[in-house]
Structure 1
């Protein structure tokens, strides 16, 4: 049986998701921030005959994230997703997302497969004295403008609303450097929750690259998040970026697929 979740399901679904806290960072973060009654998100779960959760599906704005530990009713979740605007924006563990890719009538966005990594130590960090700022809402448009210049990034149509909502709910923060009022490099978190935070949006303007700006900002941001007792997570597909992250203490824990 698949049904939409409510506040009364919180303890059970949180226990289910917390068994893989890094993989479920986005779902956990959105539940903590927006609960079960927000217009911007909905959460469904499949229950077995003993009323135990087998799988979860989150909708946050236009994006969906499924999670399961074993076999689940993929077709049931597909039926739910078809009621929303296509193409579907879908992301999650690669082996779970692959089950949805088998449905030809589910129109998915462009596919990207990345490595998923996590870090829970500051042993390899050496924050420097680079001058950086923490972004406020007035910096949102500049942050998105910079991201749009990065070929590898996909900036969705609702990116501005999502970023504003995330900053207001303290599930996202951005550190940046600037010159003459123009943001030159920035690094963000997403889906921050009580136990973890995802690193996203690492980017630098072309004319300011190879100066170590992003790495400097990252180390300061990483240190702040780790000092709060949270685990850092990120995904990457660029081998050069992967080497940088590993030098900073990240380890691969799986593969992550995104349809954008």
Structure 2
């Protein structure tokens, strides 16, 4: 049986998602921040005959994230997603979301597969002597300008609004270095919740690269988040970046697939 969840289901769904808190940081963070009754967010769950939760499907605006332990009702979740605009924006643990691709019943966006890594301890971090600041709302335009200058980054048209909303809801923070009031390097979290935080937006202006700025502020940010008792998570598909993250204490825990 699949049904839509409400506030009354919160403890059960969080316990279910806590089986893999890093993999589920987006779902956990969205539920903690936006709850069960907003127009742009809904969550459904599949239950077995003993009323044990088997799988969940979160909708946030036009994006979906499924999670399951074992087999689940793929066709039931597809029926829900088909009620919204296609192509579908879908992401999640690769072995789960690729079941939807295999059916051929959904029009999916462009596929991207990345490594998913987490860091639990700060034993690999060291103090770096670099002057940095924590960003506030007044810094948002400068952050977006830097990200927009990075060839590898794909900046959405609503990127500014998303960053402002995340800062205001305390689900994101950004540390940066600057020179002459120009941001030279920055690193951010997103989807922060009571258990974990995702690292995103690691970038350095071209003329300031190879000076260790991004690595230095990453270590500052990583230590602050870990000291709060949270797990750090990140995606990467660049082997060179992966080697840097692993030197800082990250370990691969799976693959993450996005269709968008």
Same fold (TM over 0.5): yes
Cα gap change, 1:166 to 1:231, in 2 (>3 Å)? same
Cα gap change, 1:223 to 1:12, in 2 (>3 Å)? same
Between the aligned partners of 1:136 and 1:21, the Cα distance in structure 2 is 28
Between the aligned partners of 1:71 and 1:64, the Cα distance in structure 2 is 18
What is the Cα deviation at residue 83 of structure 1?
Answer: 2.3
Cα gap change, 1:241 to 1:155, in 2 (>3 Å)? same
Counting only pairs closer than 5 Å after superposition, residues 98-177 of structure 1 correspond to structure 2 as 98-177=98-177
**Equivalence for 1:218:** 218
What is the Cα deviation at residue 105 of structure 1?
Answer: 4.4
Cα gap change, 1:107 to 1:227, in 2 (>3 Å)? same
Between the aligned partners of 1:205 and 1:62, the Cα distance in structure 2 is 32
Superposed CA RMSD in Å reads 1.5
Deviations 1:160-202 (A, max 9, x none): 3322221111111111112222222111111111111111111
Contact 2:78/2:105 (<8 A) preserved: no
1:197 corresponds to 2:200:
no
Structure 1: any 5+ residue segments left out of the alignment?
none
Cα gap change, 1:256 to 1:82, in 2 (>3 Å)? same
**Equivalence for 2:10:** 10
Contact 1:127/1:223 (<8 A) preserved: no
**Equivalence for 2:186:** 186
Q: TM-score with structure 2 length normalisation?
A: 0.95
Cα gap change, 1:240 to 1:166, in 2 (>3 Å)? same
Deviates more, 1:218-227 or 1:32-41: 32-41
Aligned residues: 260
**Equivalence for 2:231:** 231
Deviations 1:196-218 (A, max 9, x none): 11111111122221111110110
1:41 corresponds to 2:41:
yes
Cα gap change, 1:15 to 1:172, in 2 (>3 Å)? same
Deviations 1:22-63 (A, max 9, x none): 111111111111111123321111122222211111122332
Cα gap change, 1:71 to 1:10, in 2 (>3 Å)? same
Between the aligned partners of 1:141 and 1:87, the Cα distance in structure 2 is 30
SS of corresponding position for 2:256:
strand
Contact 1:22/1:118 (<8 A) preserved: yes
What is the Cα deviation at residue 228 of structure 1?
Answer: 0.6
Structure 2: any 5+ residue segments left out of the alignment?
none
SS of corresponding position for 1:99:
helix
Q: TM-score with structure 1 length normalisation?
A: 0.95
Contact 1:172/1:191 (<8 A) preserved: yes
